Structure 1
């Protein structure tokens, strides 16, 4: 029998009280949060579940606790080796008998794992969907009593989601092979359509669906429109943002492998402990870099989306998108890597028209049904509409996921400095008409020159167009804002044209609605007037457009508390180094801070602190008290 298997005092069937007792003993928490208790209770009763809980909302506990309490082996299907490794190591630290089967496990280790599973010595077994489909794993599992089957990151099942993986589509077969085993699918990001697809694909039509609030009040969100498509300027802004947060652990997302390597090197040159991570590296190298990021305090990971679901670092203080993702689901999941410990964290996104053009080209190059492609294009446009919009960012995301009663967060850049909206419907009509008459043969700069009547060596045919010089009352920068907004809204589209993008008309129905003034166009900045006294036509002393100057809240603590906190972090770092595990799997910063503040004098007092379970108390309690007493 596994060490964590409890003895039930009341009935032979575990209930929520047993679950709370296990949560306290193993995880060190007094009670469940949010919908965790309801999900656990449903699984304990043998029912199927789809749980959509926010990043940092404790999804894994929802299946780990029932897997331990119910008789048999808990099977967890997880998409990434890094994620499986991280969760298994964390469970082992807590005294839970857990193992994983993936390509990094030797044949001898595999034999030992199967032997432990057959003898009932294992609580949880983690496998990949590819591993589950290969060889005779299904047959071997069918010989074992299973307590439950958990499908982690379940949005990977759906073609409507942001990270569809074909191997996940086959997991519906589990309903046939294990008809009497309760199944739970969990994810942090799934809109209504994706949820329906998950239920249908996994054959969970009878499952109880739990959708918790997507609110993350500790996240401060902001977005900045890029001044140009220049990579050098974007890199410089990223370096500046990271420098302002020096010493804090963070993640910088880039859209390409080359971008990751370039930005990471630039950050290192600027004195930041930056680590590049992308799919172009072999598995061992990626694992080594992930281990560095998890273990080294103040490290900044510069990564592509290859680095995402495998991240379980609780104290990430900022997430910066040097290049925005392709949907609000991907945005919320990636931004959600920050502040998983509940402490304040920032999510900053840099975006521009070249980014949405790149996102749409990427979608166009992927093999998918036209209906699916149309949905994904709409999702990309919804993201950029949020980034360039004037609605509270957290509120916009929550409403996207179906929370109709979501209120403004009060802490994002929109709430903190509400933008001045300008009715740009008439200028938008002029811009659309200009693009139509120019026939999609020119880029953004030439369109602006046409509207302001500043085209160099202009040809007679162009001067004869009714749109020539029609916008001479607005500065070139003002027109760029309007053209960019129309690109975000999909009324204009860019053709890559071998690196020299050409702008043409986009959504015909939307364009007609603007022409007829049935659709209002609002931009966030009042376009400044044309200034004939400058070479560019832009007015002098343009106000700052970057949103600089916002100061992140500084954490404060008494000198004695800080001294104890830093001593505990140093002790934790040594223990983590000895075991080759990330520091946070021993204790999270939040727990160390509470210990530093409470200054417990004995094991009983230490055990009463949230996050200190019995296993960790037995394993580390003496060392913690010795560290405190040494000060």
Structure 2
């Protein structure tokens, strides 16, 4: 019969996806679990994908959107993130657009005309935009190839970056039945993943979780000697000075802190830019453009900065103030080394930081159950920072990788700290706080334990804990009490900026008293302000040790790229990443055919920039 002879359109295959990857992005195959995620969407099935930062999450929905019939709808939380991805796609010859408050009415009309004509592969919108009925009505008139929800951890109240508007995205299952949906994130523990699936109504979706390993990141943590801002600022300046000429990000816990540290860095000769939510949106955009365009720039920011910003050559991330959870830590540290080349993540931390974190959590409106989870997450972060277990291994196990092995390159692997059993000292410290009625600060508790209280009153001298620790060095007592705070066995009550030390979780305290819980503390504080030089075997080594003629070609190509980026008002890396320019400088291709086979070039960029690249190489000869 005639009906039998007419076959349905053939669904795109993974082979088609690989061909698109090579043609558009210049890569011959997918990395990690990308192909599994792409395969699910090509088959029309829902999926939650948890892939590491820099692991190519966006490609997992961009390629299926290009291959499947219809328009790919991408929900993204930040204008900067949408702008970045759309500009990068345009450079690669992909038809993409965004709808946000910065798009003019004329441009909006042009975008909808292109969508109705089937000329648009991807459309980026915000969750707030999707709340507008007119936008949903317009989308109903278009065939959708897929719906992608980027930064999906924002859905979960258990996550580190909860956004209420994301909770409404579950209704997309009803509004667009039959359209496959993909949720992607780089940071979600098991509980957060369950919440994402439930909230987005991804019932039956396959959950694909790749390893959280980032072998190119060298992690370290530095215990703050005291809570002085001046000391912390000086430490940050010294760390940045050691990495002079490299792009980096410094995270601060407050807007004032950002401005202060950025100015201190500028005074020390660093091209530093402050960025935080208290600035005018246009000023923030201008500063972000500078950071993306200029080499060797340091962005000093609050957590308002960074989500999805794909500056590939960030070589270090420094936390002047630690974040509030391991999820936030891993995502923010993940800004470094997105190009796969060696990068560093350095965190400064101290007891005052966890007190500040807990005070901030206490002031937020949230259910007690949620607050308890967030407090536990904060303590898990500080326990990792002050612990003795390989840092990447601890993080990966937190995310569920039970078989994670030591990385071999973090500060704890390179220089394992000496530990001692401090259970008895912990019992004495806990007892002292209890006997003192939880009415004094840390200094007074230390004086009590060591018998140093001035003008001691008879009631205090008569306590069994008075002077019980005078045979132990004062700095050891400080380490023990700090560690008990990180563990949650002691907590600081802010008390109008005059913190009082009190006992923490009663069950945990009782476990220490009964010798059911062993307390191990570092013998001496970790000092890694100048980490030993790591073994470099990536392209960074080539950058630092290349021959003079290769360096000349590389610098000429970078200058050529900077000029093209300025002409188009786009970040230089969306034209070519440093990694690709270095490959070109090393290979020295003599024609377009040879240039085409260099990873990261792709057909669109070959046609657009190929002759210019060859001309730049000739000029450098």
TM-score bucket of the superposed structures, by smaller chain: over 0.9
Q: Distance in 2 between matches of 1:243 and 1:135?
A: 52
1:555-601 C-alpha deviation (Å, 9 max, x unpaired):
32222211111111111111111111101000001111111111111
Provide the alpha-carbon RMSD of the alignment.
Answer: 1.2
1:12 positional shift? 2.5
Out of 123, 130, 133, the position equivalent to 1:132 is 130
1:241-266 C-alpha deviation (Å, 9 max, x unpaired):
00000000000000000000000000
Out of 428, 432, 435, the position equivalent to 1:434 is 432
Which residues in structure 2 correspond to 1:335-374 (within 5 Å)? 335-374=333-372
Match of 2:609 in 1: 620
1:605-631 C-alpha deviation (Å, 9 max, x unpaired):
111000001000011111111111112
Q: Contact 2:239 / 2:530 at 8 angstroms: preserved in 1?
A: no
Out of 587, 609, 616, the position equivalent to 1:598 is 587
Q: Distance in 2 between matches of 1:504 and 1:136?
A: 55
Q: Contact 2:45 / 2:205 at 8 angstroms: preserved in 1?
A: yes
Which residues in structure 2 correspond to 1:210-289 (within 5 Å)? 210-289=208-287
Q: Contact 2:73 / 2:123 at 8 angstroms: preserved in 1?
A: yes
Point out where structure 2 has 5 or more consecutive residues left out of the alignment: 1-7
Match of 2:389, SS state, is coil
Q: Distance in 1 between matches of 2:132 and 2:557?
A: 45
Q: Distance in 2 between matches of 1:497 and 1:310?
A: 38
Which residues in structure 2 correspond to 1:435-514 (within 5 Å)? 435-514=433-512
1:62-108 C-alpha deviation (Å, 9 max, x unpaired):
00000000000000000000000000000000011100000111111
1:420-479 C-alpha deviation (Å, 9 max, x unpaired):
111001111111111111112111111111111111222222111111111111222111
Q: Distance in 1 between matches of 2:13 and 2:597?
A: 23
1:390-414 C-alpha deviation (Å, 9 max, x unpaired):
0000000000000011000000001
Out of 574, 580, 586, the position equivalent to 2:569 is 580
Match of 2:86 in 1: 88
Match of 2:610, SS state, is helix
Name the CA shift for 1:107/1:549 in 2 (closer, same or farther; >3 Å): closer
Please say if 1:557 is aligned against 2:542: no
Q: Distance in 2 between matches of 1:566 and 1:525?
A: 48
Deviates further, 411-420 or 547-556: 547-556
**TM-score, scaled relative to structure 2:** 0.96
1:548 positional shift? 3.3
Out of 21, 24, 27, the position equivalent to 1:23 is 21
Match of 1:59, SS state, is coil
Q: Distance in 1 between matches of 2:456 and 2:532?
A: 44
**TM-score, scaled relative to structure 1:** 0.95
Match of 2:3 in 1: none
Q: Distance in 2 between matches of 1:241 and 1:41?
A: 44
Q: Distance in 1 between matches of 2:528 and 2:444?
A: 24
Match of 1:425 in 2: 423
1:112-159 C-alpha deviation (Å, 9 max, x unpaired):
111111111111000000011024111110110000000000000000
Match of 1:535 in 2: none
Q: Contact 2:223 / 2:526 at 8 angstroms: preserved in 1?
A: no
Match of 1:504, SS state, is strand
Match of 1:548 in 2: 530
Q: Distance in 2 between matches of 1:174 and 1:549?
A: 49
Q: Distance in 1 between matches of 2:174 and 2:358?
A: 39
Match of 1:59 in 2: 57
Q: Distance in 2 between matches of 1:11 and 1:175?
A: 25
Q: Distance in 2 between matches of 1:235 and 1:135?
A: 48
Residue correspondences, number: 606
Q: Distance in 1 between matches of 2:33 and 2:255?
A: 38
Please say if 1:167 is aligned against 2:160: no
Out of 318, 321, 332, the position equivalent to 1:320 is 318
1:141-198 C-alpha deviation (Å, 9 max, x unpaired):
0110000000000000000111010000000000000011000000000011100110
Point out where structure 1 has 5 or more consecutive residues left out of the alignment: 1-9, 527-542
